[in-house]
Chains A and B, each alone.
Chain A
Amino acid sequence: MTGIYAENSEGIFKKSVLEAASYASQISTDGVTAICIGSPNDGEADKLAKYGITKLIIVEGLTAFDAQNYGKAIAASLTGIKTLIMANTYEGKALAPRIAVLMNASLATNVVALPDTSNGFVVKRGVFSGKGFAHVQLSRDNKIVAITPNSIELKENQVSIAVEKATVSEAGNLTKITASNKAAGKIPLTEAEIVVSAGRGMKGPENWGMVEELASLLGAATACSKPVSDMEWRPHSEHVGQTGITIKPNLYIAIGISGAIQHLAGVSSSKVIVVINKDPEAPFFKAADYGIVGDAFEVLPQLIAAAKAAQN
């Protein structure tokens, strides 16, 4: 049996959960069970059914996220499940290792493709911070595969879904969340399909209006290079690269970023890369699909106007 952990984001199953469902339903021959913690909103179970989930177990009784208790509750619901697929989000990264120990499983994180099962169970995972891939044989009977968001194509497979509830008792949490701060209404960078990113070439934080306007026209999230977040022109959560976030959007637009190897490490798996830089020798052009050699302050207003026109 194959299962997925369906991360419950304020009642909603995000795209990364549907990717896990698509992955699981393509490797399973006997249905897929999803486990989520806390009740999802109305209609969310049907979303899972569209991607091949035959059973949803809703675990109740946990009041706040605690990796230890969540891990135990998920592991306890895995009866019969040998392979568990989940999204490699921050929550997934907190939970996958804890569940792996409890189910005595081989664990692969950062997985970017469906497994090769012609000889065992071999997954392809990103290594060396975007500079390589490895093929890893998972040898234990039980397996956990945590997939990088935006790596697996959604694949519809409409089935009917049975919903069950399970209740666990919350054993004294050893951690306590004292405050939580989510940027409301913004697309999280790791889930964004389009990212507009800018670097030191933008000169100062006061010039980010254009970057944000282009991003909002394209339905994109915004990102930045390391010096930009170090200088606090932009929040640290936008910093991409080797020591920041690794992202894999369909489209990455880099404005005024030189393309240092450490920056590329976090973005080079983007499907299409666009570079706008006034220096024709900027190393980023070597990693780009499309480019404009020019001053961002002249190019951006044209792109904004063209994006507006393209919407109409």
Chain B
Amino acid sequence: MSVVPDTTTKITFTDNNTKFNTAGVQFIINPYDELSLTKALEITEKAGGSVTVATVGLAEADAVIRKALAIGANDAIRINANPSDGQFVAEQLAAIAQQGGYDMVLTGRESIDYNGGQVCGLLGALLNWPSVNVCTKMDVIDGKAHFERDIDGGRETIEAVLPVVASAQKDLCEPRIPNMKGIMAARTKPLTVVEPIAVDGFGQYNGFENPIAKQAVKLFDAQNAAQLIDALKNEAKII
């Protein structure tokens, strides 16, 4: 589970555009991970078992991890490191998954901050498990996993043997909201902090930039909408 800036955050950078400016930013559970958490709860409520949340992050992630426990996860593991890139994160999570005897590892389709979309496939390869990405349905029936997933230009349904890694796409389920009882229970649920394993570097973020601001909009009269088509054809030359 990844901890990300709230979706309404205005994105700015500091330190000469080398760092994301976290001043005043509210952090949330990555929306896709919220879906995978909810789905994991639905699956274990039906098929049995428990749900562990694993996050690579520093101590400030704890408040968001408690929220995941309030939603219903049984326990949580925080790998005490800065989640510097998707490959580093996947290596850490793979180390945890190897110890745990897990049947399924669910991730989000991507995190909404770094948009890597890598962790599901990386985990699959690191663990040598099958991986199924961008799932809009997930279920476990008679010890087999069933998925529906997006493919380019359509959808397909897939069966997989366990253990398996899968990533959540929008539409998978309605994310659960923590209730009072969950919030109380979360306070005493185990949140274990472990130190990261050593991993050779993959790369480094040198700097950031914002998209170039648009010039003022050119407006056309609603009575004369045909002028717009003319401008797209002859001025912008894109139709």
A residues whose Cβ falls under 8 Å from a Cβ of B:
7, 9, 66-68, 71, 88-91, 93-98, 100-102, 106-110, 122, 125-140, 174-183, 186, 188, 190-191, 194, 218, 236-237, 239, 242-244, 246, 250-251, 261-262, 265, 268-269, 271-275, 285-295, 298-299, 302-303, 305-307, 309-310
Contacts and interface: CB of A to CB of B under 8 A. Distances in A.
Contact of B115 (A128, A190, A262): A128
Contact of B11 (A131, A135, A246): A131
- If over half of B's interface residues share one DSSP class (helix, strand or loop), that class is named, otherwise mixed; here it is mixed
Contact of A139 (B164, B202, B220, B239): B202
A161 to B, nearest CB: 25
Given A90-B151, A93-B133, A107-B87, A299 B225 contact: yes
Given A98-B121, A182-B154, A286-B214, A236 B170 contact: yes
Nearest to B146: A178
Interface of B: 5, 7-8, 10-11, 13, 20, 31-32, 85-87, 90, 112-122, 124-126, 128-134, 136, 149-161, 164, 170-171, 200-211, 214-215, 217-222, 224-226, 228-233, 236, 238-239
A190 B226 CA distance: 27
- If over half of A's interface residues share one DSSP class (helix, strand or loop), that class is named, otherwise mixed; here it is mixed
Given A67-B133, A106-B87, A107-B86, A290 B202 contact: no
A303 B125 CA distance: 50
B90 to A, nearest CB: 7
Given A138-B203, A251-B232, 19 more contacts: A7-B152, A68-B129, A94-B121, A97-B118, A97-B125, A100-B122, A110-B117, A132-B11, A134-B114, A140-B203, A175-B132, A242-B7, A271-B238, A286-B214, A290-B217, A291-B217, A306-B228, A309-B226, A310-B239
Contacts of A251: 232, 236, 238-239
